């Protein structure tokens, strides 16, 4: 291991921060202290799993690029603005956004403000205008719906074995002990948990979201049709 780049992250409640800050791990002659957060695949994971640091980094990057793009906005027609924003801003908002499931309303609101800023930039609207009509005209789903959309796409792929094995193993079809009408509704088994973190795990979140979908969406025979119907479903809910 590279001693200078090796980190370890203890997952603990906030009440245990003082104890964790003093803990170390010894590997050979190297001493590794606990880190408040670590980077994994460009995602910042903190010891409380509240994704607050990752949200802050995403907002900082999006704000930086929005300011730079705004300096040349008068030279860009609207279709070009949409492509630039989707490539630079929306892609960052969507990257690993499935981890935002179950996060605080504050984190969602902070990311939503960035999306609203991007919509106003494209439509050349003042900050005082409501962003909801702009998002609807651009056909953009709000942040909370984009998180659910991503999770449900993963769920569909896992059910049809078009995902990594470790995800497919977490999706369990619901099998009632006796004959019920719900047996033909493509339901998933929702396991019981006792913690909020357990409710945010993929196995629980995927099953809960999937079971709330209309049957016509769950029974799609190809991914393209499924995504189209799923976006229409969330678009009607959001607007």
Q: What is the pLDDT along the chain (239 residues), one digit of tens a residue?
A: 676 677 888 888 877 777 777 778 887 778 888 888 888 888 999 888 888 999 999 999 999 999 999 999 989 999 999 999 999 999 999 999 999 999 999 999 999 999 999 999 999 999 888 999 999 999 999 999 999 999 999 999 999 888 889 999 999 888 776 665 655 668 898 888 888 888 899 999 999 999 999 999 999 989 999 999 999 999 999 99
Neighbours of 153 (CB within 10 A): 16
Cα distance from N-terminal residue to C-terminal residue, the chain: 51
Domain boundary at 80, 114, 140, which? 140
> 213 and 157, same structural domain?
yes
**Could you list the residue range(s) of the whole structural domain that residue 233 is in?**
146-238
In a domain, 187, yes or no: yes
Contact 66, 93 (CB under 8 A): no
Number of domains in the chain: 3
pLDDT at 203: 92
> 61 and 13, same structural domain?
no
> 136 and 51, same structural domain?
yes
In a domain, 40, yes or no: no
Q: Token pair of 207, please?
A: 């099953």
pLDDT at 178: 66
Q: Quote the pTM value.
A: 0.88
Number of DSSP helices (H) and strands (E) in the chain, helices first: 12, 4
* Residue 205 CA, distance from chain mean position: 12
| C-alpha span between 85 and 65 (Å, rounded) | 9
> 31 and 78, same structural domain?
no
**Interacting residues of 137 by C-beta distance below 8 A, sequence separation 6+:** 123
> 226 and 152, same structural domain?
yes
> 6 and 83, same structural domain?
no
> 208 and 126, same structural domain?
no
């Amino acid at each position: 291991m590279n001693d200078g780049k090796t980190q370890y992250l203890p997952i603990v409640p906030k009440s245990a921060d003082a104890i964790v800050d003093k803990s170390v791990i010894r590997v050979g002659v190297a001493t590794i202290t606990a880190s408040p957060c670590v980077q994994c695949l460009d995602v910042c994971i903190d010891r409380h799993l509240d994704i607050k640091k990752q949200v802050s980094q995403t907002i900082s990057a999006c704000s930086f690029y929005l300011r730079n793009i705004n300096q040349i906005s008068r030279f860009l027609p609207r279709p070009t603005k949409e492509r630039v924003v989707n490539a630079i801003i929306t892609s960052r908002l969507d990257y690993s956004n499935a981890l935002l499931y179950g996060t605080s309303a504050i984190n969602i609101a902070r990311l939503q403000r960035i999306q609203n800023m991007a919509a106003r930039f494209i439509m050349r609207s003042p900050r005082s205008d409501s962003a909801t009509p702009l998002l609807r005209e651009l056909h953009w789903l709000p942040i909370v719906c984009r998180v659910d959309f991503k999770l449900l796409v993963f769920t569909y792929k896992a059910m049809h074995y078009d995902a990594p094995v470790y995800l497919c193993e977490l999706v369990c079809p619901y099998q009632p002990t006796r004959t019920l009408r719900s047996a033909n509704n493509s339901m998933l088994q929702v396991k019981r948990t006792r913690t909020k973190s357990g409710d945010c795990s993929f196995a629980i979140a995927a099953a809960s979201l999937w079971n709330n979908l209309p049957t016509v969406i769950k029974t799609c025979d190809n991914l393209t049709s499924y995504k189209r119907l799923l976006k229409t479903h969330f678009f009607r809910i959001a607007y």
